Homo-oligomer: A and B are copies of this chain.
Amino acid sequence: MDDTEARHTEKMKKRQAAHEKILASKTREKGLLIVHTGPGKGKTTAALGMVVRAMGHGQKVGVVQFVKGAMATGEKAIFDAFPDLVEFKPMGEGFTWDTQDRARDIAVARTAWEEVKRMIADPAYHMVVADELNIVLRYDYLPVDEILETLTARDEMKHVVVTGRNAPAELIEAADLVTEMTMVKHPFRNGVKAQAGIEF
């Protein structure tokens, strides 16, 4: 072995040792605060995918949908087959999204949030999904301080997933894992409407 080769071997060994040291340091298990935000597709569907994974591991999951309403028919039919593993609450039905009945919208958001709080407090739930909660925060229907107080005080093994565009900065700051979904291309531009199995 000449000098160059020896140096290379030494370098690779060091690199391998450093890599193993990093892996060995990833030992903690903890409940994650996960945020899916951004203008792209996939925020809710990625949360649903996580629900399915957790269910598959026998973990109980609670899902509260703050906005979707009557559109959320697809996943509900499947989740209904596993009543012991998932509690699915589409609370947002009837959201008006205008200021004509702001008081009623706030009341609906409050009721949905109470459901989330109950699931977070109940040790039976491994994961709680607050779907489109960001939208509610964006409209100031619920105070972000109150939401963060509950989220940060939760049991340290509980996973919480919050979805919706325009996640508030305070939530991103508090989160463990934040993914932004960006739209690169959308079929609406070509006259294609929302379809069963894709959008709902």
B193 pairs with A185, CB closer than 8 A: no
A159 pairs with B28, CB closer than 8 A: no
Contact of A198 among B32, B78, B79, B81 (CB under 8 A): B32
Q: How large is the interface on A (under 10, 10 to 19, 20 to 34, 35 or more residues)?
A: 35 or more
B191 pairs with A28, CB closer than 8 A: yes
Interface of chain A residues 34 through 65 with chain B (CB within 8 A): 34-38, 40-42, 44-57, 59
For residue A182, CB closer than 8 A to chain B, the reply is yes
> Which residue of B is nearest A200, CB measured?
B53
> Which residue of B is nearest A85, CB measured?
B78
Which secondary structure dominates chain A's binding surface? mixed
Contact of A29 among B51, B73, B193 (CB under 8 A): B193
Contact of A57 among B36, B74, B180 (CB under 8 A): B74
For residue A175, CB closer than 8 A to chain B, the reply is yes
User: Can you tell how many copies of this chain the complex includes?
Assistant: 2
Residues of chain B contacted by A59 (CB below 8 angstroms): 196-197
Residues of chain B contacted by A127 (CB below 8 angstroms): 197
Residues of chain B contacted by A190 (CB below 8 angstroms): 28, 176
Q: Tell me the bound Cα distance from A55 to B44 in angstroms.
A: 16
Residues of chain B contacted by A191 (CB below 8 angstroms): 25-28
For residue A30, CB closer than 8 A to chain B, the reply is yes
For residue A122, CB closer than 8 A to chain B, the reply is no
A46 pairs with B41, CB closer than 8 A: yes
For residue A70, CB closer than 8 A to chain B, the reply is no
Contact of A52 among B26, B29, B74, B186 (CB under 8 A): B74
Q: Which 4 A-B pairs have the closest CB atoms?
A: A45-B49, A48-B49, A53-B74, A54-B197
A–B Cβ pairs within 8 angstroms, 26 of them: A26-B193, A27-B193, A28-B191, A32-B187, A38-B182, A40-B181, A42-B42, A42-B46, A42-B49, A45-B45, A45-B50, A48-B49, A49-B51, A49-B75, A50-B198, A52-B52, A53-B196, A54-B196, A56-B78, A57-B196, A59-B197, A127-B197, A177-B185, A179-B182, A180-B184, A181-B182
